[in-house]
A and B are shown apart, each in its own frame.
Chain A
């Protein structure tokens, strides 16, 4: 996973395009997605 891909997810949260609350988004590299 690249830093920019992490940044894109953060940006979706920052702009409220992802309407999650109290979520731990485990992202990247398959083994830790869940």
Chain B
């Protein structure tokens, strides 16, 4: 059996690209998703048995624990990529009171839950690799983007803290914080500005 990786939010956008790259490196990948069953089906159709999709709301600790229990017949995952996230842009004074908390729960809470469930197993096995996906939003201020930025800043700080604690168990923790990437989420949170922002940067490395 090949090495196992988990990619949260793995059926679309950056997560989907990570899944494809890990499969190319001979991983078998568990790709979690929250709502978009059609995207999960497309991913399964493309990669067959190399990807296993699972519906998991990472903000719900119980769901993450039940997901981990489902992996009992597989080798312990050696890679965990915490990528899942949502955005609910809105001005602080006018947004729904629950909106800020939802963004924190889905982005930071989800990352925390997956780390809390899988890091102890990796530490016990003395082998593991956790990669959390941050964002430029942790440091770059954009009007109406406070909740998302706070969640991503918390993810960066969590990554640094865990890296120190888990290094002695040969579990590495890092955070990759991309700038603007033209995904569905980007189109959602910056639809009116997306074209202008993207026009400033080359999107093709070649």
Number of interface residues of B (CB under 8 A): 43
Q: Are A28 and B178 in contact (CB under 8 A)?
A: yes
Report Cα–Cα, A25/B25, bound state, in Å: 21
User: What distance in Å separates the Cβ of A34 from its nearest Cβ neighbour in chain B?
Assistant: 9
**Cβ contacts under 8 Å, B140 to chain A:** 31-32
**Cβ contacts under 8 Å, A20 to chain B:** 172, 174
User: What distance in Å separates the Cβ of B72 from its nearest Cβ neighbour in chain A?
Assistant: 22
Bin the interface of chain A by size.
20 to 34
Interchain pairs with CB closer than 8 A, number: 119
Contact with A along B1-39 (1 / 0, CB 8 A): 000010000000110111011101101000000000000
Knowing A4-B21, A11-B22, the reply to whether A22 touches B181 (Cβ < 8 A) is no
Q: Are B167 and A22 in contact (CB under 8 A)?
A: yes
User: What distance in Å separates the Cβ of B47 from its nearest Cβ neighbour in chain A?
Assistant: 14
Report Cα–Cα, A31/B16, bound state, in Å: 25
In the complex, residue of chain B having the shortest beta-carbon distance to the beta carbon of A16? B129
Report Cα–Cα, A20/B176, bound state, in Å: 11
Q: Are B201 and A29 in contact (CB under 8 A)?
A: yes
For the complex, is B95 an interface residue (Cβ under 8 Å from A)? no
User: What distance in Å separates the Cβ of A30 from its nearest Cβ neighbour in chain B?
Assistant: 7
Chain A residues near B (Cβ < 8 Å): 1-11, 13-16, 20-33
Known: A11-B18, A23-B174, A32-B136. 14 other contacts (CB 8 A): A3-B16, A6-B14, A6-B181, A11-B22, A14-B25, A14-B27, A14-B81, A15-B25, A21-B174, A22-B159, A26-B139, A28-B179, A29-B180, A32-B177
Chain B residues near A (Cβ < 8 Å): 5, 13-14, 16-18, 20-22, 24-25, 27, 79, 81, 129, 131, 133-134, 136, 139-140, 156, 159-160, 163-164, 167, 172-183, 201, 203-205
The list of the 8 closest CB pairs from A to B, nearest first, reads A22-B163, A29-B179, A28-B179, A7-B17, A3-B17, A11-B21, A7-B21, A7-B18
